[in-house]
């Protein structure tokens, strides 16, 4: 397979391309290095992939650049590129969310419609549900985004449905539930918590810490994403991808405290706009159609993220940064 992976320098994208390369596939990776976090961190995410001859990297802004040639040369498109984050999606940055989450998706789908035999896997988000009506939440629950970010991810899903219904494009949308693990984005909770614990800095929690998330380990998410690219009879489908571990932030902090070299100092601030109280994925459909069965225990995954960040901080200190 020759795969096109957008957002290849990001957290999930970099793990996906390594998984594909290890299995002998050829990968073209696309990323525009948007400014949600540092370019140097994203380049480090690609260090292992660059060791494979089967990996080509193309720096391009999908919302502006010409993508037809990239799509034409690929068998499967894994569209992970996005402007991420709930809290940053308000106000003046909203145009970035429209450009990178909606317009970029439309450009890719326009390129794919010329060859409807290609599978188009779209990375969506549990944020489309907002304050979900039912927990655990199945795909039939009415989406009610609670943030501009969630709204743009739902819009991208709708575009996929439109191109499937009108042109037969083989789209599959995956609603990821709070992915964690090594290389997690610097703005995400566990990265912030682990980093503060390692550096002896205060930990900031928005809300009282009783809010829960269905945390999904990155390797399990990668397995589901690859399955969506190959499974039969899934075109036009939407699937929840969750880890099956609905954990409160307070429970996660207790585990991090056990790994930390010193006592954690926790500060609580008011809940931020767009934050929801609870998420939980019903993954029955993904288990049936994608053979999805997450097998990384939450504690093990959190330990791997903590150890990865400890190594990253140690390496940065060795470089004098």
Domain ranges of the chain: 2-180+217-242+280-295
Residue 35: predicted pLDDT: 78
Query: Per residue in 280-321, pLDDT tens?
Result: 999 999 999 999 999 999 999 999 999 999 999 988 776 776
* Mean pLDDT (the chain, rounded): 95
With 0.85 as the threshold, say if the pTM is over it.
Answer: yes
Catalytic hit among 149, 163, 176, 239: 149
Q: Nearest-CA neighbor of 20 among 61, 43, 52, 42?
A: 52
CATH topology of domain 2-180+217-242+280-295: Rossmann fold (3.40.50)
Neighbour tally for 39: CB within 10 Å: 12
* Dihedral angle sign, alpha carbons of residues 230, 239, 64, 14: negative
pLDDT given for residue 165 in this prediction? 97
307: helix, strand or coil: helix
Closest CA to 129 of 191, 186, 178, 95: 178
Helix H or strand E encompassing 226: helix 218-230
- 21 in helix, strand or coil? helix
Q: 145-176 pLDDT, tens per residue?
A: 999 999 999 999 999 999 999 999 999 999 99
Q: Tens digit of pLDDT for each residue in 236-277? A: 999 999 998 899 999 999 999 999 998 999 999 999 999 999
Per the CB < 8 A criterion, the answer to whether 149 and 274 are in contact is yes
Query: What are the b/e assignments for 156-172, b being 16+ CB within 10 Å?
Result: bbebbbebbeeeebbbb
37 is catalytic: no
């Amino acid at each position: 397979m020759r795969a096109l992976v957008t957002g290849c320098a990001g957290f999930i994208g970099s793990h996906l391309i390594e998984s594909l390369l290890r299995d002998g596939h050829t990968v073209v990776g696309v990323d525009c290095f948007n400014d949600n976090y540092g370019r140097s961190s994203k380049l480090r995410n690609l260090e292992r992939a660059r060791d494979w001859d089967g990996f080509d990297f193309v720096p391009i802004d999908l919302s502006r650049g010409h993508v037809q040639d990239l799509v034409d040369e690929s068998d499967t498109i894994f569209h992970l590129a996005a402007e991420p984050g709930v809290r940053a999606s308000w106000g003046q940055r909203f145009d970035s969310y429209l450009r990178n989450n909606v317009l970029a998706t439309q450009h890719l789908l326009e390129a794919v419609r010329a060859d409807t035999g290609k599978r188009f896997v779209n990375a969506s988000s549990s944020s489309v549900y907002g304050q979900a009506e039912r927990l655990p939440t199945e795909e039939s629950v009415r989406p009610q985004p609670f943030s501009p970010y969630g709204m743009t991810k739902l819009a991208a899903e709708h575009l996929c449905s439109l191109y499937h219904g009108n042109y037969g494009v083989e789209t599959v949308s995956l609603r990821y539930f709070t992915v964690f693990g090594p290389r997690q984005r610097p703005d995400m909770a566990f990265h912030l918590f682990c980093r503060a614990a390692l550096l002896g800095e205060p930990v900031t929690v928005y809300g009282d810490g009783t809010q829960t998330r269905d945390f999904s380990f990155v390797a399990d998410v990668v397995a589901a994403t690859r399955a969506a690219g190959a499974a039969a009879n899934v075109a036009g489908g939407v699937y929840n991808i969750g880890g099956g571990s609905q954990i409160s932030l307070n429970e996660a902090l207790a585990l991090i405290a056990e790994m930390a070299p010193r006592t954690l100092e926790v500060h609580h601030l008011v809940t931020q706009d767009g934050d929801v109280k609870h998420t939980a994925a019903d993954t029955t459909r993904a288990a049936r159609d994608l053979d999805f069965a997450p097998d990384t225990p939450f504690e093990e995954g959190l330990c791997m993220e903590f150890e990865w960040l400890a190594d990253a901080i140690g390496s940065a200190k060795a470089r004098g940064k």
